[in-house]
Structure 1
Amino acid sequence: MSLLLYGHPFSSYTQKVLIALYENATPFQFRILGPDTPQNAAEWLQRWPLRKFPLLVDDGRNVVETSIIIEYLQQRHAGSVRLLPDDPAAALDVRFLDRFFDLHVMSPVQHAVGGALSGDDGKAADALASAVERLELAYGWLETQLAGRRWATGDAFTLADCAAAPSLFYADWTHRIDGTWPVLRDYRARLLARPSFARAVEEARPYRPLFPLGAPDRD
């Protein structure tokens, strides 16, 4: 039985796993969750009633949480691109940056999106203001952290970059990464040019009207 991935192309966390799969050309079936595929949603909820996606299924085994899914893929379906280094200290650096992008970049974006979807103008404004404040702190730290690096932790593309790509993609839509942060802006551009992420971005393009803060024409 081939790998199954339940998720949605416009979901940042689904994209994070798609990048890992595309990096190594790992065969899988993508079962998109949406109103046109109720059977996929039923299968997904039966396997993972906590209602979070993406979900990876490997020969009947359910694997959840994006960082765990990517590590699992390396253990069980390894390819030529090693997304976690073998050296324990280097692997810790990668895991830390992975968590940073999820918790300190993507989480503020999700907070702003949640506020926009609430239908309450006051909540939306407060959520966006909070997100902007948190993203400014993250941008400032990353600007220094990424200086002199091609990818998040150095010369190799890793799990941290899988997390960074969708996080920074949507973060820039929420609070623009402008000329104040040239290192970070250039890093985002390199991520967009990476074939694995470029593919994920194109596959998600039809869903851009779903972004409640207004999807820009760029990217």
Structure 2
Amino acid sequence: MADAEPKGVVLLDVLKNTFGQRCRIALAEKGVEYEFREENLRDKSPLLLKSNPVHKRIPVLIHDGKPVCESPIIVQYIDEAWPHRAPLLPADPYARAQARFWADFVDKKVRPPYADASHLCKLKGEEQAAAKEEFIGILKLLEGELGDKKYFGGDAFGFVDVALVPFVSWFYTYETCAGFSMEEAAPKLVAWGKRCMERESVAKTLSDPQMVYEFVDRLKKRIGVE
């Protein structure tokens, strides 16, 4: 029965959901076995509505019948619930605080409306140019934090990487819609994205960039933007 009380670990999500991809990457890094339940967002399941009665949205992680909502919180929960493999947050309190800060920065600045491809596509002329420059400034700040490190946490793939890496699939759409080169604007981030894609957890989870672009192109036509 689809909406029976779940046991073990269950993730309510949609495969193409950028934020749910964070949770799947974290679970894969930890080697946690789980059941994936695809949601129909036009006809949300009773289990989703029961598990997230406040926002009624995905992703939702259910662990032994207890729901956890919102992707940053879910990733932290996964790290704490399975602490013995591939820690995502550093042990040092200050380093943990910094990781949380930058993950929050990603949520506030890289996610909509700043880097939402449909937003960039809807703008024209000076407005689009201003939005593009603002977004490139955000990328530069992230590059400053990354520096010459392999990952944001150093040699270990961690919390900030998990927060940001699903947006790598959107890089092609960002630059195509807004008319700039990600390679030129943020070469360190592009190289970081390629390193992340070498990880099985990431490669098997992220959406295909061309499919993302085609999705946005259909959205542009639906809202009357050429």
* Category of TM-score, reference length = shorter chain: 0.7 to 0.9
CA-to-aligned-CA distance 1:26-76 (integer Å, 9 cap, x gap):
0111111137x95x6332122213122101111221101111111111222
Q: Pick the aligned partner of 1:212 from 209, 213, 216.
A: 216
C-alpha distance in 2, partners of 1:167/1:206? Answer: 13
CA contact (8 A) 2:173 2:209 kept: no
Q: 2-side partners of 1:213 and 1:187: how far apart?
A: 27
Work out whether residues 3 and 59 of structure 1, in 8 Å CA contact, stay in contact via their aligned partners in 2: yes
TM-score (normalizing by structure 1): 0.81
Shift in CA distance, 189/115, structure 1 to aligned 2, threshold 3 Å: closer
* Aligned position for 1:153: 153
Which of 43, 47, 51 pairs up with 1:43? 47
Q: Which runs of 5+ in 1 are unaligned?
A: 117-123, 215-219
Give the equivalent residue in structure 1 for 2:26.
Answer: 20
- 2:69 aligns with 64
* 2:1 aligned with 1:3: no
Structure 2: which 5+ runs fail to align? Answer: 1-6, 176-180, 219-226
Instruction: Give the superposed CA RMSD.
Output: 2.8
Larger CA Rg, structure 1 vs 2: 2
With over 3 angstroms needed to count, the CA separation of the structure-2 counterparts of 1:177 and 1:206, relative to structure 1, is closer
Q: Deviations over 1:78-133 (max 9, x none)?
A: 341000112101111211121122221123233x43676xxxxxxx2268656523
Identity of aligned residues (%): 25
Residues 64-213 of structure 1 aligned to structure 2 (within 5 Å)? 64-107=69-112, 108-110=114-116, 112-113=117-118, 124-125=122-123, 131-175=131-175, 176-201=181-206, 208=212, 211-213=215-217
Q: Tell me the residue number matched to 2:4.
A: none
Map of 2:221 onto structure 1 = none
- Assess, with a 3 A threshold, how the Cα gap between structure 1 residues 106 and 87 changes in structure 2: closer, same or farther: same
Distance 1:91 1:160, change over 3 A: same
Tell me if structure 2 keeps the 8 A contact 1:7–1:31. yes
Distance change (3 Å), C-alpha of 1:56 and 1:207? farther
- Alignment match, 1:217: none
Q: Separation in 2 of the partners of 1:207 and 1:43? A: 29
TM-score normalized by structure 2?
0.78
| Letter of the 2:86 counterpart | V
CA gap of 1:115–1:138, structure 2 versus 1, over 3 A, is closer
The question of whether the paired residues in 1 share the 8 Å contact of 2:136 and 2:185 is answered with: no
How has the CA–CA distance of structure 1 residues 180 and 208 changed in structure 2, closer, same or farther, with 3 Å as cutoff? closer
